[in-house]
């Protein structure tokens, strides 16, 4: 019985030692694979630019999570502790954020100059945008007293922290917003309403209704006056034609001058009435269209 227990204990110890050996071996293989992958990637970059001869180094730093890096046309995996060997000269570096679902975060790109046998430390910071909302909607947005738009307004995070942002709207007090490091991607800014704004708004609506009724009344008055003036112009012209016909058919020399003067008189009255008719018609149309636009 004791021998069986001793054998069981010995087998357990042997299995524990084997599992430790296997764990160490697995860790060694993974480390070796990662090192070989990084070396192969670095070798690939060197092989692409093998013709250049003169090389420098690029060290990348970032406080934001990076999915991958693209050096010119070559895409590589981001290694925060690695150094990329590149030929001396200008290169285009692009970085892609891991947060592709958030459209407030944009990818980063820049052109760098690599000097021969020198290491360039490059810090990557993604451009982050913030959306400014306000109550009421459509408030004027100002950066350092410079009007830049109306809410909702999309602004760069660095502009929000480095400039003074204020909102203004009719009937509301001007509101100054101070950003903090924990500001969310969407910022809602409520504005305080002026005490007499409701009264002013009601008065403005009442004045608008009065002006609307006044325009309709002016349109109807102008239309009626135009009808009267048009009718008068028609009657005066008809009378002028009648007296002119009498002037032509009259054989009495004494009546010639009297009929001619009457013809001229009615012609002038007809012309004046027609002018008044046109003015009243245009005035009526103007006030009527203004009445329709205010609806």
Between 63 and 292, the more confident residue is 292
Q: What is the pLDDT of residue 19?
A: 57
Q: What is the pLDDT of residue 154?
A: 84
CA distance 234 to 293: 34
CA distance 277 to 274: 5
Q: What is the pLDDT of residue 47?
A: 46
pLDDT digits (tens, 9 = 90+) for 41-70: 444 444 445 445 678 888 887 777 777 788
**CATH number of the 52-125 domain:** 2.60.40.10
pTM over 0.85: no
Q: What is the pLDDT of residue 105?
A: 66
246: helix, strand or coil? helix
Q: What is the pLDDT of residue 55?
A: 82
Query: Taking the domains of the chain in order of start, what are their residue ranges?
Result: 1-48, 52-125, 128-190, 201-293
- Closest residue by Cα to residue 110 from 120, 128, 122: 122
pLDDT digits (tens, 9 = 90+) for 5-42: 445 454 555 555 555 555 666 555 655 555 455 444 44
Contact 59, 80 (CB under 8 A): no
> What's the residue count for the chain?
295
Contact 170, 141 (CB under 8 A): no
Cα four-point dihedral sign 210, 216, 218, 221? negative
Buried b (16+ CB within 10 A) or exposed e, 156-183: ebeebeebebbbebeebeebeeebeeee
Contact 120, 110 (CB under 8 A): no
pLDDT digits (tens, 9 = 90+) for 165-223: 888 888 888 888 877 656 666 788 888 888 777 777 777 788 888 888 888 888 888 88
Q: How many CB atoms lie within 10 A of CB 70?
A: 15
Q: State yes or no: pLDDT of 259 exceeds 50.
A: yes
Angle at 45 between CA 40 and CA 114, to 5 degrees: 135
User: How far apart, in Å, are the Cα atoms of 215 and each of 65, 119, 218, 227?
Assistant: 64, 77, 5, 18
Q: State yes or no: pLDDT of 77 exceeds 60.
A: yes
| 229 Cβ contact list (under 8 Å, min separation 6) | 273, 274, 276, 277, 280
pLDDT digits (tens, 9 = 90+) for 83-141: 778 888 888 888 877 766 555 666 778 888 888 888 888 787 777 778 888 888 889 98
Q: What is the pLDDT of residue 30?
A: 58
């Amino acid at each position: 019985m004791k021998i069986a227990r001793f054998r069981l204990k010995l087998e357990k110890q042997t299995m524990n030692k084997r599992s430790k050996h296997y764990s160490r071996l697995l860790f060694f293989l993974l480390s070796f694979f990662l090192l070989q992958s990084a070396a192969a990637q670095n070798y690939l970059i060197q092989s692409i630019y093998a013709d250049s001869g003169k090389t420098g180094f690029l060290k990348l730093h970032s406080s934001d999570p990076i999915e991958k890096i693209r050096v010119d046309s070559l895409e590589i995996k981001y290694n925060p502790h690695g150094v990329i060997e590149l030929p001396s000269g200008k290169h285009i570096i692009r970085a892609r954020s891991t947060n592709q679902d958030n459209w407030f975060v944009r990818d980063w790109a820049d052109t760098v100059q690599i000097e021969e046998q020198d290491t360039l430390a490059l810090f990557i910071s993604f451009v982050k945008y913030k959306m400014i909302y306000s109550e009421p909607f459509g408030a004027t947005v100002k950066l350092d007293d410079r009007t830049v738009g109306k809410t909702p307004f999309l602004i760069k995070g660095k502009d929000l922290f480095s400039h003074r942002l204020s909102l203004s709207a009719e009937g509301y007090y001007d509101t100054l917003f101070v950003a903090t490091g924990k500001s969310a991607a969407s910022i809602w800014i409520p504005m305080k309403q002026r005490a007499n704004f409701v009264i002013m708004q009601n008065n403005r609506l009442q004045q608008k209704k009065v002006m609307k009724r006044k325009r309709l009344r002016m349109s109807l008055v102008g239309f009626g006056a135009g009808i009267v003036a048009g009718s008068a112009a028609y009657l005066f012209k008809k009378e002028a034609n009648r007296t002119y016909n009498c002037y032509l058919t009259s054989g009495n020399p004494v009546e010639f001058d009297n009929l001619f003067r009457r013809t001229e008189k009615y012609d002038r009255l007809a012309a004046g009435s027609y002018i008044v008719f046109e003015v009243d018609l245009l005035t009526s149309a103007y006030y009527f269209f203004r009445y329709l636009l205010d609806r």
